[in-house]
Amino acid sequence: MKLLVTGGAGYVGSVVASQLVAVDHETVVLDDLSKGHAGAVPPGARLVRGNLLDDEFLRGVLGEGFDGVLHFAALSLVGESVEEPGRYYRNNVCGTLGLLEAMRGAGVPRLVFSSTAAVYGEPRNVPITEDEPAAPTNPYGATKLAVDRMISAYATAHGLAATSLRYFNVAGASGTLGEAHEPETHLIPLVLTAAAKETPVRIFGADYPTRDGTAIRDYIHVEDLGRAHLLALEAARPGMHDIYNLGNGAGFSVRDVVEAARRVTGRNIEAIEAPRRAGDPPELVASSAKARAELGWKPEKPALEDMISDAWTWMMSHPNGYE
């Protein structure tokens, strides 16, 4: 297939673009490089630089003709979304509306969208199934939910074959591709930076109602997550919008992550207890039963230590990220 990957110079998008190239899909990456890195665009994929808010540019790109779009481009920091909701709504919602319109105009039949566990807010039931009511607690999650609903409407009205994948906590690296956010707010890269630089890492909240008092998350290897996109692309049906949670179904606390990182790196990582971070739910663990049953997806690297080990290897070989 000929596929457009928006945000394909970012962490998850670049890994998926490389997986698409590996199975001989003609892959075009659309990225404005505001967060992504030109060096993360895999060899074999073509980079088109531009922004989703530019309708004329989008019409031109989509007008080339594509069999599908994988849409990763978005702002994705919870804290920042609380401070600057307008930026999040404009980028994530208006940007996707422009993309959907350009796809419709050009007759592009398939879409796979990066949604998030953040749409569930503070879930009533864990592990979280797709039936859990969506009730985001921050603008980031709200923008992703708005897009999920927009996609459902486009599928019904215009016959789009669409899938939303709701990611839990993505981790690890894939060969030359790894996680390099600026600023970095994610736990695993920060713990590994602490290991590399012999600086302390902060534990945001030690008073949660969890087994060791720290927040619990479901970590999924970026390669496993990536493979789900290829399966979703194959399974998508015209006029249908399917939604799948993607995680391992196992919860690890912040302290578990620090302990695992100590084992992987062999370094003594100092961890300092700090106040809770605003907007963080105590526990987010996925039920991926639906993805397993309907997409035939199964994680191949479910062990937390493997994810941390791959992230560590990447960090050691890319001490300055993609610079």
Interacting residues with ligand UFG (CB under 6 A): 76, 78, 116-118, 140, 169, 185-187, 190, 201-204, 215, 217, 254, 277, 280, 284
Whichever of 58 and 75 has its CB closer to ligand UFG, that residue is 75
Number of residues assigned to the chain: 323
Q: What are phi and psi of 72, to 5 degrees?
A: -105, -25
Q: Least distance to ligand UFG from the beta carbon of 243, Å? A: 15
Q: Which of 143, 34, 127 is nearest to 86 (CA)?
A: 143
Q: Least distance to ligand UFG from the beta carbon of 263, Å? A: 18
Q: Least distance to ligand UFG from the beta carbon of 158, Å? A: 28
CB atoms within 10 A of CB 195: 23
Whichever of 154 and 219 has its CB closer to ligand UFG, that residue is 219
Whichever of 29 and 201 has its CB closer to ligand UFG, that residue is 201
Whichever of 28 and 254 has its CB closer to ligand UFG, that residue is 254
Whichever of 19 and 114 has its CB closer to ligand UFG, that residue is 114
3-state secondary structure the chain: CEEEEECCCCHHHHHHHHHHHHCCCEEEEEECCCCCCHHHCCCCCEEEECCCCCHHHHHHHHCCCCCEEEECCCCCCHHHHHHCHHHHHHHHHHHHHHHHHHHHHHCCCEEEEEEEHHHHCCCCCCCECCCCCCCCCCHHHHHHHHHHHHHHHHHHHHCCEEEEEEECEEECCECCECCCCCCCCCHHHHHHHHHHHCCCEEEECCCCCCCCCCCEECEEEHHHHHHHHHHHHHHCCCCCEEEEEECCCCCEEHHHHHHHHHHHHCCCCCEEEECCCCCCCCEECECCHHHHHHHCCCCCCCCHHHHHHHHHHHHHHCCCCCC
Q: Which of 135, 146, 134, 142 is nearest to 97 (CA)?
A: 146
Q: Least distance to ligand UFG from the beta carbon of 63, Å? A: 32
- Of 11, 88, 120, 140, the catalytic one is 140
Q: Least distance to ligand UFG from the beta carbon of 287, Å? A: 15
Q: Least distance to ligand UFG from the beta carbon of 95, Å? A: 16
Whichever of 19 and 92 has its CB closer to ligand UFG, that residue is 92
Q: Is 120 a catalytic residue?
A: no
Catalytic residue positions, numbered: 140
